[in-house]
Chain A
Amino acid sequence: MALRKILLGAVLLGSAALPSSGEAPKKEAAPAAKSFTGATANLAPGDAAGQWTRQARDYANTRYSPLTQINTKNVGRLRIAWSFSDGQMYGHEGAPLVVGDTMYLVTPYPNIAYALDLSKPGAPIKWVFQPNPDPRAIGKACCDKVLRGWAYADGKLIYNLLDDNTVAVDVNTGKEAWRVKLDDVTKGPTMTMAAFVVGDKVFVGSSGGELGTNGWFQALDVKDGHTVWKAFTNGPDDGALIGPDFKPFYSWMKGKDLGVSTWPGEMGKQGASAPWGWVSYDPDLNEIYYGTSNPGPRTPSQRPGLNLWSSAVFARDASSGAAKWAYQFTPHDEWDYDGVNENVLIEIPWKGARRKVMVHFNRNGFAYTIDRKTGEVLVANPFGHQNWAKNIDLTIGMPVINDAAHPIVEKKVTNICPPDIGVKNWNPSAFSPRTGLLYAGVFNSCMDLNNHIVQYIPSSPYDGMEMQRHAGPGGNWGDFIAWDPVAGKRVWSIKENLYVWSGAVVTGSDLVFYGTMDGWFRAADARTGKVLWSQKLGSGITAAPMTFVGPDKRQYVAVYAGIGGGAGVLRRERGFMPGGNTLYVFSVDGNGIGNGTTQLTQAGAPAPVSVPPAAAHN
């Protein structure tokens, strides 16, 4: 398959119409539209515009697609072109990949992979791969038996199994190429994150923030899965690959073996700090960035100290794993504010110069714009309702905590905002280099919290938080927002009934797509926040949408409707839908390979693919 690589340097505004293997080169890019902030991104590796070969589409994690066939004028005509039900009922969180003429899907546990042939009517199954993970993993995964995505590289589909194996499937045969066991699931850790590939390495991390695990992150070789490097989050510096290159920006993160000394005794070893979220990569610095989970146990009075390196972000050399800097968002986390959310790599104008930064919406309710060369926090402002901290003191990079927000053992403390699940969770945001804004689904809620002392019993939760969550000010549980990462403020927001727990994708035609837990899949104008189209689906949406161009040269948008994962905390709320497992694929007027009279040929015979009417091309 001809996956044409377009090597881009820093891609600037107006790169909307990259030629692609799927899409005929168009007249010209949309007229250079005005950016709200002047922020841009390097869209490396610069895949062909119609393809979607990695979860966030690019290394920077922008989820920006340059496609423009579907635009603000015709988006109202989106209809279902075809759908695919995978039969598994746990929460669906990942986005399909499209590589060449094939779509790849992987289900939540038991992690079955499907390859669908997009060149044939109805996108029939090319192959199915069943890895049969250990069922004991079911009882160890904290927040449903999910998988947040999968990766494509070197002719292989690579993904994590809930039972702590990473597996690679040969995409030509559908057979297992390799499988490596990375931990012992019976002790508590699981794997739920999307494997992330750069060059010859696959980056994976462990889950299990509530299970007293010892979180780790590693680079595997794409060829055979062997471990190239491995870094524990906590513990001594050598195990965490913290050496002479490690230069955190703030002094309180400097010192020897802080992953040991900021915990009582040996508690760092059961301190979780599991890197279960997203990975991003800067090809110029050859650095990867990823975050770590809450510390264990969740009851903070049992672990006095900063608890490094929980609830933090690491910058590491991608080749050696050597830590370059780290930043702990929530020192001595008392509320379960994991630091694993996506780090979106962008360039912003800052005090007369351009800075390479990452933007990170933390569970704790602050959106951080951080210099990714140094770890210096430039902006940290609330992006939703929170009351645990007065502000982040930028001179020392530390939160100023509100006294009323500290939990107390065996006493109910009311109205701490946000609750454990945060103002936003792992659901990935999108960034448009055209508008210079980020787009994210966010939560509006608080908790009444009663803490309990817990003992460490291997393979059981090391937790201790008992809470009731309730909606925050205004009574709506969530919003979908546009965020200015330079000024640190909301540009617009759309109110939703429940948490907005889907990912987002934004296009070259300034459309942003997201889904709601009550089953609406929406497209909004990325500049104004006006909802231009909505379609009710068969289940709530907690997955990331994506968009691609099929072999028929038509642009499609796809999303799974299969509510689950952490969103299950609202399962008793009005509007929460039953589970599901259907991938919906949309096109203008629903035209394409999934319907129409020309498709109704006898079973098995290849049917001609209808050519889209001119109207479908804008």
Chain B
Amino acid sequence: MRPVVFALALIATPAFAQVTADTPNPLAGNADAIEAGHGLFGKMNCAGCHAYDLTGGMGPDLTDPSWQYGGKPGEIYHTIAEGTPRGMPAWKDKLTGDEIWQLVAYIQSRKQ
């Protein structure tokens, strides 16, 4: 786990367009962010497709070691924001940039 660099309140989240594959997650490893991501994962119905334990169902297992769309924080961010061709919905209209980073932090904390 990476060291916690920022406190949550201080983060200036990059706007959607500015996030690239190499953008680091400003919230990586932040315990509050991970907990917030956990809450969003249930509240936004991610769990309905990926299961409450993230091991997959309608959507893929998010805990196994592989990534279809890339496992860098910026790539995961991009997957969640934009959706994918095979049915992962786009969330950029329903979530803020901070919230997406929280989800990225949560998913990464659960990856094997």
Q: Which residues of A contact B (CB under 8 A)?
A: 135-143, 210, 452, 454-455, 457, 459-464, 466
Cα(A464)–Cα(B42), bound, Å: 9
On whether the beta carbons of B44 and A136 are closer than 8 Å, the reply is no
On whether the beta carbons of A139 and B88 are closer than 8 Å, the reply is yes
On whether the beta carbons of A457 and B87 are closer than 8 Å, the reply is no
- Beyond A210-B58, A457-B45, A461-B45, 14 additional pairs, beta carbon < 8 A: A135-B85, A135-B86, A136-B85, A136-B87, A139-B59, A139-B87, A139-B88, A141-B58, A142-B57, A460-B46, A460-B89, A461-B58, A466-B47, A466-B52
Interface residue total, chain B, C-beta cutoff 8 A? 19
- Interfacial chain A residues near B43, Cβ < 8 Å: 455
Cα(A586)–Cα(B58), bound, Å: 34
Q: Does B48 contact A (CB under 8 A)?
A: yes
On whether the beta carbons of B86 and A139 are closer than 8 Å, the reply is yes
- Interfacial chain A residues near B84, Cβ < 8 Å: 139
Interface centre among B44, B46, B57, B59 (most CB of A within 10 A): B57
Chain B: CB-nearest residue to A571: B56
Chain B: CB-nearest residue to A162: B87
Chain B: CB-nearest residue to A454: B45
On whether the beta carbons of A462 and B87 are closer than 8 Å, the reply is no
On whether the beta carbons of B58 and A139 are closer than 8 Å, the reply is yes
How many Å from the CB of A572 to the closest CB on chain B?
Answer: 9
- Interfacial chain B residues near A457, Cβ < 8 Å: 44-45, 94
Q: Does B8 contact A (CB under 8 A)?
A: no
A460-B85 contact, Cβ under 8 Å, with A139-B59, A452-B42, A455-B43: no
The 5 closest A-B pairs by CB, nearest first: A139-B87, A461-B48, A460-B45, A138-B86, A463-B48
How many Å from the CB of A410 to the closest CB on chain B?
Answer: 11
Cα(A210)–Cα(B89), bound, Å: 15
A interface footprint on B41-75 (CB within 8 Å = 1, 0 otherwise)? 01111111100100001110000000000000000
- Interfacial chain A residues near B46, Cβ < 8 Å: 460
On whether the beta carbons of A462 and B48 are closer than 8 Å, the reply is yes
Cα(A457)–Cα(B43), bound, Å: 10
- Interfacial chain B residues near A210, Cβ < 8 Å: 48, 58
- Interfacial chain B residues near A464, Cβ < 8 Å: 48
A137-B87 contact, Cβ under 8 Å, with A455-B43, A457-B94: yes
A interface footprint on B77-108 (CB within 8 Å = 1, 0 otherwise)? 00000001111110000100000000000000
